[in-house]
Amino acid sequence: MKITIRNISAILGSCLLLLFVGCNQNGNGSGALGSDIAQRVYVAPGEHDEFYAFVSGGFSGQLSVYGLPSGRLFRVIPVFSVDAEKAYGFNEETKPMLNTSHGFIPWDDAHHPDLSQTNGELDGRWVFINGNNTPRIARISLSTFETEEIIELPNSAGNHSSSFVTENTEYVVAGTRFSVPVPQADIPIDEYKGKFKGAMSFISVDQETGHMDLSFQIMMPGFNYDLAHPGRGKSHGWMFFSTYNTEEANSLLEVNASQNDKDFIAAINWKKAEELIEAGEFDVMPSEYAHNVYDESTHSATSTIKRQVRVLDPSKHPGLVYFLPTPKSPHGCDVDPSGEYIIGSGKLAAALTAHSFTKMLDAIENEKFDGEAYGIPILNYDDVVAGVVQQAGLGPLHTEFDANGNAYTTFFISSEVVKWKLGTWEVLDRQPTYYSVGHLMIPGGNSRKPFGKYVLAMNKITKDRYLPTGPELTQSAQLYDISGDKMELLLDFPTVGEPHYAAGIPADLVKPRQTKIYRLEDNNHPYAVKNERDTRVERNGREVHIYMTTIRSHFAPDNIEGIKVGDKVYFHVTNLEQDYDVPHGISMIGANTSELLIMPGQTETFIWEPKKVGVWPFYCTDFCSALHQEMQGYVRVSPRNSNIQLKWSLDGD
């Protein structure tokens, strides 16, 4: 009898547990379950993440889109590198996006994404990112998640202190890393000192269309300009750049550019620059740079070469630029949400330097100068420093902020994220990273309003962290919960390429803006056909244009004859679908290009130059319906001298 009662209570107990667990389906568990780290990053099937993270691809040239906290990868947006999967840089419509003053370039090194802002807060309109190698800035729409515009930057080289957005998206600011002869000239390299210059570009943004225009450049001394951030709040109107190689070395920089005790943070008063431009106090410099714009209504990009740029020389304009001495080759240059503190991370120093914006204004007003460089006043170090974070770690690189007055800095050499307090400069916490962390990101971290729930640290080296994949290993990102006093490592996930910085935003600011389809009636592509009746094939000498449509699940036309060896055949394909998530693809045997992947209502074009006589098939590359495998067609290719007339049909019509 006793045994039975014990059994009953055991059964009751286990059923009660079942009841508790069984009903707790939304992942917001409390009590013992709440401390389960796996559960805090688990986003159940069909549920959405809380944040978007736009993580740069570094040498992949692209921008990847992850969800946080899950770390799930949703999309890789092609920006500076061709992408055969999406036909970016392969189809006729997007080839102009990769045009430059050096011609078509299929690759770049994409570093620092930054989001558009209004009144210092994220607004979910666009994300900008820099191409380092052949200096360019791209704008990506957060409605279509497509690259809509790329502008090349003349006089710039190694476009690294870029792309940072001012608090009303007035400008995207892009600084050169390398100084070069401006204008370019055939001179001995060792004449670097004094002859090389560093161009800081201010690109204005049209608030309606997002269109970018290189408004002006400030021609700085021949240092290296590493990173930058805009002022905000009280310091709105200023831009801060870190410098190294103030030694102006042109060889063995790892030694020769590490001589000076202090380099500078350059403070540029861009409101003042605007006044000078307005007053006509600029020089016009002949130049050559490409401006590439993708038009959503024609589904096509155009590339225009621009020929001049307005330039300001700071030595001629007192009050435009000041130098703030900052120890040992500062890398990161970060501004806190209030706009008061400018943090310089001297990567060869053990300490972090925080300059005070208020003290800087006071030093300027009272001319507390400590010399000048190329006519630019150097402010006295002790008069601008607000505080120093001592012995925080080794190799400080970048700092982001939460909304509670805390700062988070990455340390490359000691592989850790360190949390410290603005104002008291005391270290509060430290957590290891695996390994060699570079940038870190807090959603909204470059704005007046950070969403300080998570920090994402991006690592350069993963060594033993994942299954090995030969000599080349993945880079990684690590997610920490920063909502409590102590940071907690929640998740670590591999990344696309090498991430150099990321930008994060609450999903609710982006989701309502999504374009789901392109309306056929708004399609102004010159080769679009909007119904099957208008599909046709036209010959113009050796050029043949096929006006084709797709819908589940056939091409119109799907039988084409009268093509000849040596023709240049354009497939202009319009997807007639008007429903969400119904793309069609097309590929042609022997075409020296990628497939097309065509969204509903869109038109795209590829070129096929048939070299052999025969009957050659094409097919749909995106599984579109139960009859996807039936979505195919044939092109008959005849000898050059044949008399076969152009003929096309679908189902005999």
Partner 1 sequence: MKKLPLTLIFTAVLACCLASCGGGQSKIDEIKAKSFKEPADPMANWESNHGVGPIKAFELPATIDQELVSKGQQVYESMCTACHKVEKRFIGPSPKDILKRRTPAWTMNMILNPEEMVQKDPIAKKLLIEYNGSPMANQNLSEEEARAILEYFRSL
Q: Which residues bind partner 1 (CB under 8 A)?
A: 4, 7-8, 11-12, 15, 18-19, 22-23, 517, 520-521, 530-533, 549, 551-554, 556, 576-579, 582, 625-627, 651
Contacting residues for 409 by C-beta, under 8 A, at least 6 apart? 332, 343, 345, 352, 389, 392, 393, 396, 397, 398, 399, 417, 418, 420, 440
Kindly tell me which of 19 and 37 has the beta carbon lying closer to partner 1.
Answer: 19
**Exposed (0-12), middle (13-18) or buried (19+): which is 417, by Cβ within 10 Å?**
buried
Identify whether the C-beta of residue 223 lies closer than 8 Å to the C-beta of residue 198.
yes
| Minimum CB distance to partner 1 smaller for 196 or for 618 | 618
What gap in Å lies between CA 304 and CA 334, rounded to an integer?
35
**Cβ at position 283, least distance to partner 1 in Å:** 53
| Nearest to partner 1 of 466, 580 (CB atom) | 580
CB of 523 to partner 1, least distance (A): 11
CB of 38 to partner 1, least distance (A): 23
Closest separation in Å from C-beta 601 to partner 1: 9
Identify the CA nearest to 219 among candidates 275, 166, 175: 175
Minimal distance, residue 529 CB to partner 1, in Å: 10
In three-state secondary structure terms, 248 is coil
With b meaning 16 or more CB within 10 Å and e meaning fewer, what string describes 549-584?
Answer: bbbbbbbbbbbbbbbbbebebbbbbbbbbeeeebbb
| Nearest CA among 158, 168, 73, 43 for reference residue 502 | 73
CB of 77 to partner 1, least distance (A): 25
Closer of 533 and 542 to partner 1 (Cβ): 533
Least separation, in Å, of the C-beta of 91 and partner 1?
22
Instruction: Kindly state the DSSP code that residue 467 receives in the 8-state scheme.
Output: -
> Which of 503, 520 has the CB closer to partner 1?
520
Residue with tokens 């791209």: 138
3-state secondary structure 76-106: EECCCCCECCCCECCCCCCHHHHEECCEECC
The secondary structure element, H or E, covering residue 170 is: none
User: Residue 600 CB, nearest distance to partner 1 (Å)?
Assistant: 9
| Residue whose CB is less far from partner 1, 485 or 651 | 651
Nearest to 244 by CA among 261, 224, 260, 259: 224
Angstrom distance (rounded) from CA 48 to CA 444: 19
Question: Is the Cβ of residue 315 or residue 625 nearer to partner 1 in the bound state?
Answer: 625
Residue whose CB is less far from partner 1, 464 or 521? 521
